[in-house]
Amino acid sequence: MELKRVVVTGLGAITPIGNSVPEFWENLVNGVSGAGPITHFDASLFKTQFACEVKGFDATKYMDRKEARKMDLYTQYAIAVAKEAVGDSGLDVENEDLNRIGVIFGAGIGGIRTFEEEAGNYALTGKENGPKFNPFFIPKMIADIASGHVSMQYGYHGPNYGVVSACASSTNALIDAFNLIRLGKADAIVAGGAEAAVFPAGVGGFNSMHALSTRNDSPATASRPFSKSRDGFVIGEGSSVLVLEELEHAKARGAKIYAEVVGGGMSADAYHLTATHPEGLGAKLVMKNALEDAGMKPEEIDYINAHGTSTPVGDLSEVKAIKEVFGDHAYDLNISSTKSMTGHLLGATGALEALFCVKAVQDDIIPPTINHDPEDMDEEIDYNLNFTFDKAQKRTVNAALSNTFGFGGHNASIIVKKYAE
């Protein structure tokens, strides 16, 4: 069986540095930080009091107020971003076989705000008044519901489900979409991720694990991947969607093509609940698997969007893995961690960073890793590698690889490249 080719025909995103693709891309290339004091709740008693929040989001711009109340914030983000991506793709419900279009969304946590509110209300009043739960509690909370809402929005009857693999969730969603389309199971899939965990349970839970940066005096510089003084990730929120489409289907309707998806890799560390393998074992495997799937040599990759969360163990193990997989070519390619600007969007981060790779391939520019001080050198990191510190770099980007590694040892990588006939 000959596998079909898969291309990207639509993009959408709501991020801490912009609520549309043109807005966030300009800010990303210019090295703008999305971090600031938490506004979603009073964080004054928390160890971490800042985050990369979405700014100025109004759900009623995208849906009826009554419908919005039936959704957790993460689903509202997903609906809004799907509208941008589907509109961008030009897919027309009047002219498509809707049985051949699917929706796959990743979320690492799902509706944590909803769970917090409902469980909190029960804790306060349950013993006296008995259980009084919102009938929308469960459908607002569950991590698959964003894909259900998006499918209902457009009447898409193709493959439809949610993916949960912590921080790798939306990369897995993209890989699943890629595989289903190239196997002929769908003509197009709206794929991506969404997350909205900047609430007490999310921030407090990660704080208790010592996973978050506590640099409250300087939020904008707290996410500093590959620097010695890195002290944890900065939690972010938002959503990102890519419309993946079978090549001939896209050409037949005259769609614009941003890039081609050529490979996806998956692996497991099988090592620790939350820490990456110190030698980057799973990271090495997942990049090798992605390259093999794409039929590419390491020398053909121009840019790696690193997982690069600004954690002491994670950054170091990823650098080790890159050097081992790419050998001498590791010194010729560009590496950057865009989490230095967006923070870590958890289950939505993979789709967002895959989108960054698509834009890098389209525009031939590498977004930077910000917040690195030349004096802040980790003796275990090889700074002969090009981490694209501080300023974006122009270069031809024929192919880009995006890494995502999640709690539980879940690893996923995806490769996109310039489309050519």
**Which tokens hold the place of 331?**
């010194």
**Which tokens hold the place of 204?**
């407090």
* pLDDT exceeds cutoff 90 at 185: yes
Name which of 332, 324, 320, 326 is nearest 381 in CA terms: 320
Element (H, E) at 183: none
Name which of 193, 318, 232 is nearest 35 in CA terms: 232
Write down the pLDDT at residue 246: 98
Write down the pLDDT at residue 140: 98
What sign has the CA pseudo-torsion 415, 171, 168, 87?
positive
- Domain range for residue 147? 6-417
Question: Distance (Å, rounded) from C-alpha 359 to C-alpha 366?
Answer: 9
**Residues classed as catalytic:** 167, 307, 344
Which CATH number does the domain housing residue 286 bear?
Answer: 3.40.47.10
Write down the pLDDT at residue 278: 87
For residues 105 and 150, the answer to whether their CB atoms sit within 8 Å is yes
Domain count, the chain: 1
Average pLDDT over every residue of 211-236: 98
**Which tokens hold the place of 356?**
């960054």
Q: Is residue 1 part of a domain?
A: no
What is the CA 319 to chain-centroid distance, rounded?
20
Residue 136: pLDDT band (50, 70, 90) is very high
Identify the residue whose tokens are 């698997």: 289
Write down the pLDDT at residue 67: 95
Name which of 419, 412, 420, 398 is nearest 300 in CA terms: 398
- Which residue type sits at 391? K
Question: Distance (Å, rounded) from C-alpha 257 to C-alpha 351?
Answer: 17
For residues 253 and 291, the answer to whether their CB atoms sit within 8 Å is no
**Which tokens hold the place of 212?**
């978050």
* pLDDT exceeds cutoff 90 at 147: yes
For residues 102 and 186, the answer to whether their CB atoms sit within 8 Å is yes
* pLDDT exceeds cutoff 90 at 35: yes
Write down the pLDDT at residue 1: 81
Write down the pLDDT at residue 127: 86
Question: Distance (Å, rounded) from C-alpha 398 to C-alpha 420?
Answer: 10
| Average of per-residue pLDDT values in the chain | 97
State pLDDT tens for residues 363-395: 999 999 999 999 999 999 999 999 999 999 999
Write down the pLDDT at residue 263: 98
DSSP 38-98: --SS--TTSS--EEB---S--GGGTS-HHHHTTS-HHHHHHHHHHHHHHHHHT--TTTS-G
Write down the pLDDT at residue 94: 93
